[in-house]
Amino acid sequence: MTLAEFFSCSLLAFGAPLAMFSMTVANDPVRIIIMIAAAFGWLLSFLLSSVVWYAVVPLRPYLSFGLVFAIAFQEIFRYGTYRLLRKTEAGLKEISENQDIGTNKLEMAYVSGLGFGLMSGAFALVNVLADSIGPGTLGLQNGTEYFFVTSSAMTLCMILLNTFWSVIFFSGLDEKNYFKVLWVIVTHFFVSGLSLLNRRQLYAATLIPSYIILIMTCVIAFRSAGGTFKSFIQTFTRR
Amino acid sequence: MSDTGSKTEATEHTALMDGHIAEARPDREIAERIARKRKTKSESQRTYGSVDQREGRAANAPSSSAPGAGPPPLPIEPQIEELELKYGARHVIKLFVPVTLCMLVVVATISSINFYSVKDVYLAYTPFHEESPHAGTKVWNALANSMILLTVIALMTVLLIVLYKKRCYKIIHGWLILSSLMLLFLFSYLYIEEALRAYNIPMDYITLAFVMWNFGVMGMIVIHWKGPLRLQQAYLIFIAALMALVFIKYLPEWTTWAVLAVISIWDLIAVLTPNGPLRILVETAQERNEPIFPALIYSSTVMYCLVATTTAGVDSPAEPEPAREPRPRELRPLNPHATREREASRRESGGTGEAAGFDAAWQARAASGSAPGPASGSASGPAAAAGEPRRLRVDGTAPASYTTRLDRPQPPPDADEEKGVKLGLGDFIFYSVLVGKASSYGDWNTTLACFVAILIGLCLTLLLLAILKKALPALPISITFGLIFYFATRCVVKPFADALAAEQVFI
């Protein structure tokens, strides 16, 4: 039973991102490297925010304080990734055998966003998943039996959001459209702030708005990358 | 690879160091690089890796007002630069995958089989067992242990170099064979025994003997002789994982971390300083125009042994050359994907080199196994090295007698296909020790962080390799990153991540 829960939660959270990885990233070496580099960047940002949280001892129980810094550092590192990728674009072209690598400007944005997202999702969920295998049942003494499922659902939301945020962020900086950048930062704070309600188990109040934001962000990212409603329909009909 | 002149360049593809990363390059590129090196050094330094320069040059070349540098060298510069740089991403991935697989095996074993996390017996080389509760005592225990291990490794390395210089190939080779025998049979048997026990699977001795015999013999064949590339890679990964598991089990806690740090520093010294043992080894092998222990190294492509057509002195003098002739003819790369027309020499005994050193460790363990506590002198001799793969990597000198001599193949195949990249098995082992040890504490965030840190370190090392174009130690950067991230994640990130996950707050 616990094993079933483990598999279902891990597939819920990581199924779609892994499909995205295997279909778009896995066969191109440069994309894999960029993805791992982005994951490393996220790791550094999380390390810095943990240091800040750890250092301010009296505020440790108040996660919202740590949360603000975590989001700030993540966005700073997203910007850093943007600068790094734009600078080394030509170099990437050289080490890759795929000569099309630089043609779509947002390709690297997508890949680095996926790296960010996967690392953030992994750090959020992997210990929870490991515990879900072990003996034990949720919700018997206190707490809710939906803990694992809601954690996994939120993780999926965050992974996908991170991917789309990077696309929008890079596109906004490229076109100097700072509303896009603002959208990324504001929605990041909004979704993470909403998740603070999770401790009171108001899952409907956190999951539903988060997914609505996810869909809106997805549409914006799609449009930024040059997609239109027509091209979206074409992906279903075109062979 | 050392830069001791063009002769070195000519045999660059043989200049691979165990435990280090180097490239396998075809001759054409080597010739081109010799030609390129004859230009001003500053020019080649300037052009490498700098996109602006290259584009500028490419733009300049067609225009008639080319700057002072002679036009003829210029047009081929960009192309060569591109070739150099193209050796980049694909080969990084070719190393990422085996390193990841090795770590996965170690982490999976540590998580599921309790045996490797339980400390009961220790190696003879770590006499201080860190049993005191005081941190200070543990620290000096760990440092003392790691110094002892380092000394043993250094001695073994020097011994190996002496043997190699005196052309005692038979001794080295016998040592390697013995070691890999022990690793493939004894340690695999112990592993499978513990795995069966952990999963509560009964198996009769007859089946077990059958399985072990086949597994071991196949391993010996594929590592020391020839076999399909994937199979050989799989065996090398498995024995590296086995070795890492042994280290994780038989070294005391703090000693493991101290050993990792000390080994990285040793790696740096041994490879880069002019008097470093490994560097001497490489240079000697280059002087003799021999390949260096291809078997102790994980290679992403079939290893071709190209020896100059004058094959006189390479083998032990007793071997008459004509007797060697028939060999190259019958050898073909068994890699089904190989499209080259070259005949290849299959790997030498290198793989055993890893085992060789372990041999000593194993004997020590066997001796200590029967008498718990500090083992009395590890049986066969002091030459028994600490199961340090480091030393083993060095030990893995492939005796030339096992080298198949080839005439130069006529048309070299496509340059791109040729470029394989190699990583020493010791590097696999120590990466896996770090990640396995991190995972043994039960926190998966730490394991993930170390994993990503090591991969990034490997990426940076390969980038440096592509730029500097000489054999580099693969341990320092990755292990440094790994250690930093291990301690940082364990102390600072873990509590934060746990607090966030407990409250279901998502950042």
Q: Higher confidence at residue B342 or residue B480?
A: B480
What is the interface pTM, i.e. ipTM, of the complex? 0.94
**In the prediction, which pLDDT does B368 show?**
37
Pick the residue of A9, A40, A161 with the most B CBs within 10 A to test the interface with B by mutation.
A40
**pLDDT tops 70 at residue A124:** yes
For B298, the 3-state DSSP assignment is: strand
User: Is any Cβ of chain B less than 8 angstroms from the Cβ of A166?
Assistant: no
B280-to-A119, B161, B271, B277, B419 alpha-carbon distances in Å: 43, 8, 9, 5, 25
**In the prediction, which pLDDT does B483 show?**
97
In DSSP terms, B473 is beta-bridged to B20
**pLDDT tops 60 at residue B240:** yes
CA distance B455 to chain A (A): 8
Q: Higher confidence at residue B399 or residue B250?
A: B250
- Which DSSP state fits A97? S
Pick the residue of B79, B94, B95, B505 with the most A CBs within 10 A to test the interface with A by mutation.
B505
Interval B372-383: pLDDT, tens: 333 333 333 333
Contacts of B501 in chain A (CB under 8 A): 124-125, 127-128, 151
Count CA atoms closer than 13 A to B417's CA, side-chain side: 11
Q: Are B334 and B226 in contact (CB under 8 A)?
A: yes
Q: Higher confidence at residue A70 or residue B333?
A: A70
Which of the residues B267, B315, B359, B395 is marked catalytic?
A: B267
Cβ contact (<8 Å) for B496 and A49?
Answer: yes
The Cα–Cα gap between B274 and B435 comes to 32
Residues within 8 A of B (CB atoms), A 113-132 only: 119-120, 122-128, 130
Cβ contact (<8 Å) for A43 and B501?
Answer: no
**pLDDT tops 90 at residue B68:** no
Q: Higher confidence at residue B418 or residue B397?
A: B418
If you average pLDDT over every residue of chain B, what do you get?
Answer: 71
Which amino acid does the sequence have at A77? F
Cβ contact (<8 Å) for B492 and A51?
Answer: yes
Query: What's the token pair of residue A202?
Result: 């108001």
Mean pLDDT value of segment B475-489: 96
Query: What's the token pair of residue A231?
Result: 């091209």
Q: Are A13 and A126 in contact (CB under 8 A)?
A: no
Cβ contact (<8 Å) for A192 and B505?
Answer: yes
Vertex B260: Cα angle to B257 and B266 (nearest 5): 145
User: Is any Cβ of chain B less than 8 angstroms from the Cβ of A185?
Assistant: no
CA distance B81 to chain A (A): 9
* Among the listed residues B234, B175, B157, B130, the one whose alpha carbon sits nearest the alpha carbon of residue B393: B157
Least confident among A53-57, A219-223, B20-24: B20-24
Least confident among B83-97, B146-160, B194-208: B83-97
Interval B119-150: pLDDT, tens: 888 888 888 888 888 889 999 999 999 999 99
Interval B100-123: pLDDT, tens: 999 999 999 999 998 888 888 888
Interval A132-167: pLDDT, tens: 998 888 888 888 889 999 999 999 999 999 999 999
Q: Record the pTM.
A: 0.76
Cβ contact (<8 Å) for B92 and A29?
Answer: yes
Interval B207-218: pLDDT, tens: 999 999 999 999
The Cα–Cα gap between B283 and B292 comes to 10
**In the prediction, which pLDDT does A98 show?**
67
Which amino acid does the sequence have at B211? V
The Cα–Cα gap between B99 and B93 comes to 10
**pLDDT tops 60 at residue B466:** yes
Mean pLDDT value of segment B199-227: 94
Q: Are B474 and B268 in contact (CB under 8 A)?
A: no
Q: Are A53 and A66 in contact (CB under 8 A)?
A: yes
Mean pLDDT value of segment B65-94: 55
Cβ count within 10 A of residue B385: 32
Q: B312: pLDDT confidence band, cut at 50, 70 and 90?
A: very low
Q: Higher confidence at residue B32 or residue B122?
A: B122
**In the prediction, which pLDDT does B282 show?**
78
Q: B172: pLDDT confidence band, cut at 50, 70 and 90?
A: confident
Which amino acid does the sequence have at B293? F
B498 part of the active site: no
B427 part of the active site: yes
CA distance A230 to chain B (A): 34
**pLDDT tops 60 at residue B396:** no
Burial of B312 (0-12, 13-18, 19+ CB in 10 A): exposed
**pLDDT tops 60 at residue A104:** yes
**In the prediction, which pLDDT does B343 show?**
33
Query: What's the token pair of residue B45?
Result: 């330094």
Q: Are B341 and B331 in contact (CB under 8 A)?
A: no
Highest mean pLDDT among B8-17, B299-308, B385-394, B481-490: B481-490
Percentage above 70 pLDDT, chain B: 59
If you average pLDDT over every residue of chain A, what do you get?
Answer: 92
Residue of A nearest to B485 (CA): A47
Q: B290: pLDDT confidence band, cut at 50, 70 and 90?
A: confident
In DSSP terms, B21 is beta-bridged to B472
CA-CA-CA-CA dihedral for A9, A14, A18, A19, to nearest 10? 70
Q: Are B277 and B392 in contact (CB under 8 A)?
A: no
